[in-house]
Chain A
């Protein structure tokens, strides 16, 4: 109510000031200065910060806590220091802690917590000296008063339950007495100090102290007065009923008048008297507000005329602050209603409306400001907060909550002024579109005064009908309103009736002015239909409510869409619901999660229906992982997130796979322990289900952890142990996953570089028997091959580097480097690795096949290359005929699909000549010379070998070819091929050897291709070198 709001505003400012002050004090580590002038503290509006105190040097921890705003911890820290100190330091800490308690008190509404804080504050106050303690106790009482004032306001506005009235009146009465006592303490202190000053025995600080004491006295009586007024009004509004021990309303009002006497020119608890009021004091806001309180108290005691005189004085005195003057009208209406002067109250309402600048919402722009032609048809209305207070008071009186007129007041209402006041205030609320206020008042006092036409009236009736029905339903279900529809016919009818009323509200002529409330009405109608079991209607209405709310960007949109989903879910669950409903549900879910992604409901949908949301896996995982740990959905959402993350890991074939695996492992790791415990604790069918679920999670984690680079071997080992333990404990059938676990152990052995164990496990995987899975066999072979190939290439690189050291020209003479068991240090190891590559690669090739189609895959092609390269090494170092033949077979296959493959052609030519197949060798060299540019070294190698091999069967032709070469390439080519060509020249063109048919210089045996970085054909060395010491199985060589 407006009259109540008078002291409230400054009180609120006080709290803000207090909060700001503590923040500032905390931030700077210093405390505010001592109390300012008494007058400022008396106003209560421009009071100096509440948290004051003398400076206490902060320690490092305190500074840290202050800097981070950790107030609770700061209190505990200071309390610990408080316990350990004594004397002045303890008093200072006590004061500071007491003020921190006040701050915490003002921030909580919970009764138990308030009591705890109050008790604690009292303990700290005890440590403070006598003089200071009065001020702190007043501060404590003021903090409590502000809370009680808020509650009294809420009760007066019918915004708080009526049940709280008794406790509140008791609290206010106690606070009144407490503040009166504190005021008396302060007054005594003032007297002592004043006597001391007048006797001439004072010290300089006494003057300052007396000022402080006066300020405390003034403040204590000010709040005591208002506590009395609110207490009296609370009791009076409750038909005068009060708990035992609580003074009557009149007694409290009288006490308040005495308290306010201090502010209106009287002293020593004398009642305020208008005749003794120095008008000049009214310029001070706290004095003017005290006059408002006096009027309220006089109304309670039945002195309406006197109250009006005080209010008239306020109204007529020009020096009164504007804020207080604005509160006079509403206070006068309250006084008149309290005293039962309804006719006068009605007149005052009309007067206030006439003066009000407010107009019906949405019509403000249509009202001409001044001048002729002013549209007087649009009436001004009461400000909404005043209308609410007037309506609440009038409706309460009408409802008989407070039928007792004040002593001496007129109790009759022959002209129906009271209903008129209520209707006017309610109409103004409706005009201001304060539907929530109307709804609250109608719920509290009934719908008798709201009429039955227009949107608000119908809407309020519909909403009340719905709320009452749902309340009953909730009560019938033990206090919890679940999603099940009502089953009683009477309840269903009431719900449908509420739905119809709300539907009727939306088609009222003035409904367009209430867009948001129309959406609320439609939503309410949908709810009613939902609980009435009419799912189709509920879904349809919820969808409409969503559209309306979405247009207004209102939070109701989320509720509406959610309700629509619930209704559709129920429809879809019915037998024969059809695809249309399923489609609608799917669309609604998809819309919800995309429109409200960060909500718990979205997470719920993702958990319940992960396949219906239409969200990307990444987004879905993000939503699920955003569920807070204290949410009941937490465990389920993590589980769903784990499933999605595993899918993301499996589907990912890019470089992000490692990241996806780590993300999955992080989330799954949180679930594993609880799942294991649940699996061990469960019994019966639930135990089997839990064990299966846990084992699945372990298997997924093993998959991810062993895919990482490097694999997480320790975690994997633990997981394998956990899997084994789970399987054994639950005696699970191993057929389905036994080979998979063997494969994981195989991966683990690879991860630990235990290749011997890995080979054994691979053999186990390949062993025939139940559960054999070709996928694991192939994967194990591939893994063995990949690892063997890596090792082989490393050894080969070492072999080449060791050769380089013995042959300084090797680096430049590419193609002439030759490997042999005699010339390399690591021959044995190299051969072993080459054999591994041939063995594992051979298995893979056997499984995959060597066809044009399979070789079209670059991976398969690389596999053939790698195996052929290993064969080449084996042949070069051990003379392995099998290796040579396999290399030829593989290279032939490669060349058949990639005719210009340099590496294969060179290897094939060399091997073929060694195998005695000069024709194939010649053809390969020819092909190579055609495949590479004539400026490359390989071209010269190919030309040299072509001419050399031709000479073996047709020396004149070879001579012709050589002549052409010499003509076109007078330098004969890069070294060492120029030397070789020169030797050919000698033997074919100008020496007797040419005619004797002696073979050209002997070719070198094949040399292996140095390791290619990525097994890409053609990336190997330029030319396989000839070697004189290689075994010859036929053919001359090159």
Chain B
């Protein structure tokens, strides 16, 4: 007989951990689409806000943040802008392939720190 009790315990612990640590609702579903083929979706009043897409890019070896027509070099500048933006439409963070995790993490933290709860991350521009 195999000692299955211990194994089952471990499995249940792991299941519990993932359920507690993960989120079952995808934040992307709550974000306004930039381009939607669905006329009703696109023309809905809830989508009146402009999609807020934060780009994390590398410019001459230096990481930069860009949203709309604004460009920021530091996290502080970024947080200052994000703080003023409406939070309801959420934010999408798009990072280019060549930026480091550090900068992406900075963007995520800045978004969280600015009060965004609906944050979506897209890798690779």
Contacts and interface: CB of A to CB of B under 8 A. Distances in A.
Interface stretch (A268-276, A436-444, A600-608, A921-929): A921-929
Given A930-B42, A934-B50, A967 B35 contact: no
Contacts, number: 65
Contact of B85 (A929, A934, A943, A964): A964
A968 B70 contact: yes
Given A967-B68, A968-B70, A970-B69, A923 B43 contact: yes
B85 A926 contact: no
Contact of A927 (B43, B49, B50, B67): B43
B59 interface: no
Given A930-B35, A950-B48, A967 B81 contact: yes
Contacts of B47: 926, 930
B60 interface: no
A923 B44 CA distance: 7
A931 B42 contact: yes
A960 B84 CA distance: 11
Contacts of A950: 48
A922 B42 CA distance: 11
Contacts of A970: 69-70
Nearest to B34: A930
Contacts of B113: none
Given A923-B43, A930-B35, A934-B68, A967 B48 contact: no
A43 to B, nearest CB: 98
Contact of A926 (B35, B42, B69): B42
B83 to A, nearest CB: 10
Interface string A905-937: 000000000000000001110110111001000
B-side interface size class: 20 to 34
B42 A964 contact: no
Contacts of B81: 967
A968 B35 contact: no
A968 B33 CA distance: 17
Contacts of A971: 69
Interface in B1-48: 33-39, 42-44, 47-48
Contacts of A931: 35, 42
B67 A968 contact: yes
A961 B70 contact: no
A936 to B, nearest CB: 12
B35 A900 contact: yes
Nearest to A931: B35
A896 B49 CA distance: 23
A946 interface: yes
At the interface, is chain B mostly helix, strand, loop or mixed? loop
Contacts of B124: none
Nearest to B42: A930
Given A961-B48, A964-B86, A968-B52, A899 B68 contact: no
B31 to A, nearest CB: 13
Interface string B63-74: 000011110000
Interface in B77-110: 81, 84-86
A965 interface: yes
Contacts of A967: 68, 70, 81, 84-85
Contact of B37 (A900, A946, A960): A900
A943 to B, nearest CB: 7
A969 interface: yes
Nearest to A958: B48
A850 B84 CA distance: 47
A904 B90 CA distance: 30
A410 interface: no
A946 B48 contact: yes
A982 to B, nearest CB: 15
Q: Which of B42, B49, B81 has the most CB of A within 10 A?
A: B42
Given A934-B50, A946-B48, A924 B85 contact: no
Nearest to A950: B48
B42 A927 contact: yes
Given A968-B50, A968-B68, A968-B70, A924 B86 contact: no
A647 to B, nearest CB: 44
A896 B47 CA distance: 19
Contacts of B68: 934, 967-969
B36 A930 contact: yes
Given A968-B69, A970-B70, A899 B49 contact: no
A960 B86 contact: yes
Interface in A130-150: none
Contacts of A946: 48
Interface residues of A, number: 27
Contacts of B39: 895-896, 899, 923, 927
Contacts of B67: 968
A927 B40 CA distance: 9
A957 interface: yes
Nearest to A935: B69
Contacts of A896: 39
Given A926-B43, A927-B42, A969 B37 contact: no
Contacts of B49: 960-961, 964
Contacts of A926: 42-44, 47-48
Contacts of B44: 926
Contacts of A964: 49-50, 52, 85-86
Q: Which of B33, B47, B68, B81 has the most CB of A within 10 A?
A: B68
Contacts of B38: 899
A924 B48 contact: no
Contacts of A957: 48
Nearest to B43: A923
A899 to B, nearest CB: 5
Nearest to A922: B43
Interface string A961-978: 101110111110000000
A957 B47 CA distance: 12
A851 B52 CA distance: 37
Interface in A146-179: none
A957 B86 CA distance: 11
A383 B104 CA distance: 103
A910 to B, nearest CB: 16
Contacts of A961: 48-50
A927 B79 CA distance: 30
Contacts of B52: 964, 968
Given A923-B43, A946-B48, A969 B34 contact: no
Contact of A930 (B33, B69, B85): B33
Contacts of A929: 50
Nearest to B40: A923
Contacts of A943: 50
Nearest to A965: B50
A965 B44 CA distance: 18
Interface in A223-278: none
Contacts of A923: 39, 43
Interface in A516-550: none
A934 B33 CA distance: 13
B67 to A, nearest CB: 6
Q: Which of A895, A934, A963, A964 has the most CB of B within 10 A?
A: A964
A602 to B, nearest CB: 58
Contacts of B86: 960, 963-964
11 contacts: A899-B38, A900-B35, A922-B43, A926-B48, A927-B42, A930-B35, A946-B48, A961-B49, A964-B50, A968-B52, A970-B70
Interface of A: 895-896, 899-900, 922-924, 926-927, 929-931, 934, 943, 946, 950, 957, 960-961, 963-965, 967-971
Interface of B: 33-39, 42-44, 47-50, 52, 67-70, 81, 84-86
| Minimum-distance CB pairs A-B, first 5 | A968-B68, A923-B43, A930-B42, A927-B42, A926-B43
Given A943-B50, A967-B81, 16 more contacts: A896-B39, A899-B38, A899-B42, A900-B35, A900-B37, A926-B43, A927-B39, A930-B33, A930-B34, A930-B47, A961-B49, A964-B49, A964-B50, A965-B50, A967-B85, A968-B52
